[in-house]
Structure 1
Amino acid sequence: MIQDAKKQLTLWMMKNPPWTNVYGLARSLIALGTLLTLLFNPASVFFKTQNQMLSFSDTFSLFLLFPDFRYIEVVKAVCICILILVVIGWRPRLTGFFHWWISYSFQNSAVTLDGGDQVAAVFTLLLLPLTLTDPRKWHWSPYEASFEKRPLEPYYRSLCWATLTIIRIQVAMLYFNSVIAKLMEEEWQNGTAVYYYLNDPMLGLPDALHSLFDFILQSKLVIIPTWGTLIVQTIMFCALFAPKKYWRLILFISIFMHEIFAVMLGLTSFSITVSGILVLFLVPAEKTVALNHYNSYFISYNFLNKRKRRKLYG
């Protein structure tokens, strides 16, 4: 019986490569969150100095390799270029490590952080087994049959599917821990926590939205978004055990909740990053995201192979 199960699992893994555009989309979203943070904020916001000198770090941070602050903008520009390559999906095997190093360095060196930066640092590390074994030029491309002839292909697939399972468990535990931590606080128990969050002078609603939602915050209706958040996050944890037919609905609800956070609390990069890990959690990794029309146009227009280029352009 065990041998039959092992055989079926092996056949399934060999039939379904883990390197699809599902994990590619997740990488792009995670990188996009960090990219927007670096692109629209000056380095002085994140890296504090004394007499224009940065303190040396023993955390192997990319941003603190050079002590003089004037070089930080150069490092930042290099990171932005690498993140753009990750977002467009070029050479996962080459960009995967650098994506993690940028995320890790930013999380360990920057002063102003939200939860998305820590999420990016953790999940880019967990994605390394997939990126380092991905032979494709673009992570949007289908997995070619010729790749299956690699000598270590069965071991690569076993490692990557195990990694994706660990990632799903990690995402589920992230929300489980979030729910448990909230339930320990009286404000979440009595349904008033959202009132305090949205009235916080730093994190709260902007003035335009505050006047629009003030009637909810000042009434017992505030219980709905407070307990609603707990209910949604509990459902997200339970999705670890849910049949795949419910994943799409849970994904929609989860992303909708995080986009509300983005609009109301200004957590844009956080919401984009979390959307990336939700793709890993709630989209079957063996499937292909329906980007076929865009992919066919994009590939035919931009990524013609050398033979076609010679034929067309000489």
Structure 2
Amino acid sequence: MLNRLGRYWLRRTLRLPMPWTATLGAARSLLFLSAGLTYLLSPTTVLFTPVDGALPGRCAASVHWMAWPCWLPEGVVAGGQATAGVLCLIAASGWFPALTAVPMAVLLIALPLTSAAPDGGDQLAGILGLLLLPVSLTDWRRTSWTAVQPERALGARVLVAYSALALAKLQIAIVYLVACLGKLSSAEWVNGTALFYWVRNNVFGAPPLLRPVAEWVTMRPVLVAASSWGTLVLEFSLAIAVLLPTPFRLRILLPIALLFHLAIWLVLGVSSFAFVMGAALLILVVPVGWSLVRPRMYRIRSGREKETPV
């Protein structure tokens, strides 16, 4: 009886689309690319020195064991930082996702814990690095860009990956819901003038090249109101994305959201944040098992079948 139930459960599980797709690989690569560029392009004294200037201060007892810079002597942190950046870029190539899963999770989690001034993108990347750990550990492909999986323990691996991806989608949806609802407590967002002030902010405002255009747009009441309220509508739509029809999510919501974060990058200059949110959008909006290149083309590898790029 137990054997019959086991075989039935396995057949039902294997009818699900394989969750390890090129789209998932692209999301992971964006997370690793964001962390890698942050590690490589940020001076050590800027990235790791707390506000009070005391380097050991970043290694509070509560995070010491979770952050790799705390394991190293202070004099070699810069070398460790460069090594971490290179490892992130290597992992971003997509090779051997199961083998790189744990090191990448450590590097993603450590960045917001040890950085002097982490942003929301660094924090979300660390959380996703942890939530995607089961997904990557069960991804036994040689590279994220192939379409086949080994048969070993496939049923259990599919269930683990689906469960982890469901938690990741929930986390990202909560991020967008909180972002939307939090803005409603601001009078500027409610009356539609928030972007007028953001593009003129001395720290995060539009760069000199784009400032004339940004200021011209936000001087028009209709355009600034549409942009401000449109941001709220988009964030709420992303918060409930899993409830929306798949064609709408892929053809309308995803392109608009990607352009939205690209605009934030260009206007506010938060490049690493844009990479992380691009990864988050691919995880949230694209259904599990779908590839934006060739939907539902992922399959089991048999002895005579070659790996097919997608």
TM-score, normalization: structure 2?
0.84
Deviation of residue 208 (structure 1)? 2.5
Q: Please name the residue that 1:310 is paired with.
A: none
Q: Please name the residue that 2:5 is paired with.
A: none
**Does residue 180 of the first structure (1) align with residue 181 of the second (2)?**
yes
In structure 2, which of residues 36, 60, 69 is the aligned counterpart of residue 63 of structure 1? 69
Deviation of residue 158 (structure 1)? 1.0
**Does residue 254 of the first structure (1) align with residue 257 of the second (2)?**
yes
Matching residue's letter, 1:78 = T
Do the aligned residues in 2 keep the contact of 1:89 with 1:138 (CA within 8 Å)? yes
Kindly report which structure 2 residues correspond to 1:101-116, keeping only aligned pairs within 5 A, or say none: 101-116=106-121
Gaps of 5+ in 2: 1-7, 296-305
Cα RMSD between the aligned structures? 2.4
Do the aligned residues in 2 keep the contact of 1:54 with 1:67 (CA within 8 Å)? no
Deviation of residue 264 (structure 1)? 0.3
**Distance in 1 (alpha carbons) for counterparts of 2:214 and 2:234:** 21
- SS of corresponding position for 1:54: helix
State the identity %. Answer: 27
Relative to structure 1, the CA distance from residue 52 to residue 242 in structure 2 (aligned partners, 3 Å threshold; closer, same or farther) is closer
Q: Please name the residue that 1:208 is paired with.
A: 209
Q: Please name the residue that 1:263 is paired with.
A: 266
Q: How many residues align?
A: 283
Moved over 3 A (4+): 7-10, 12-15, 49-57
**Does residue 45 of the first structure (1) align with residue 46 of the second (2)?**
yes
Matching residue's letter, 1:111 = A
Q: Please name the residue that 1:308 is paired with.
A: none
Q: Which has the higher helix share?
A: 1
Q: Please name the residue that 1:232 is paired with.
A: 234
Do the aligned residues in 1 keep the contact of 2:169 with 2:283 (CA within 8 Å)? yes
Relative to structure 1, the CA distance from residue 51 to residue 16 in structure 2 (aligned partners, 3 Å threshold; closer, same or farther) is closer
In structure 2, which of residues 236, 247, 270 is the aligned counterpart of residue 245 of structure 1? 247
Q: Please name the residue that 2:82 is paired with.
A: 77
Q: Please name the residue that 2:27 is paired with.
A: 26
Deviation of residue 51 (structure 1)? 8.1
**Distance in 2 (alpha carbons) for counterparts of 1:207 and 1:9:** 59
Do the aligned residues in 2 keep the contact of 1:91 with 1:138 (CA within 8 Å)? yes
Matching residue's letter, 2:265 = A
Relative to structure 1, the CA distance from residue 265 to residue 138 in structure 2 (aligned partners, 3 Å threshold; closer, same or farther) is same
Deviation of residue 15 (structure 1)? 4.7
Do the aligned residues in 2 keep the contact of 1:261 with 1:271 (CA within 8 Å)? yes
Do the aligned residues in 1 keep the contact of 2:131 with 2:168 (CA within 8 Å)? yes
In structure 1, which of residues 202, 222, 234 is the aligned counterpart of residue 224 of structure 2? 222
Matching residue's letter, 1:186 = A
Kindly report which structure 2 residues correspond to 1:65-214, keeping only aligned pairs within 5 A, or say none: 65-68=71-74, 70-144=75-149, 147-148=150-151, 150=152, 152-214=153-215
Deviations 1:149-204, CA, capped at 9 Å, x for gaps: x2x33222111112112222222221111111001111111112112221111111
Matching residue's letter, 1:20 = T
**Distance in 2 (alpha carbons) for counterparts of 1:17 and 1:291:** 13
Deviations 1:208-258, CA, capped at 9 Å, x for gaps: 222222233334232121111111112212322012121212110110100
Gaps of 5+ in 1: 1-6, 293-303, 306-314
TM-score, normalization: structure 1?
0.83
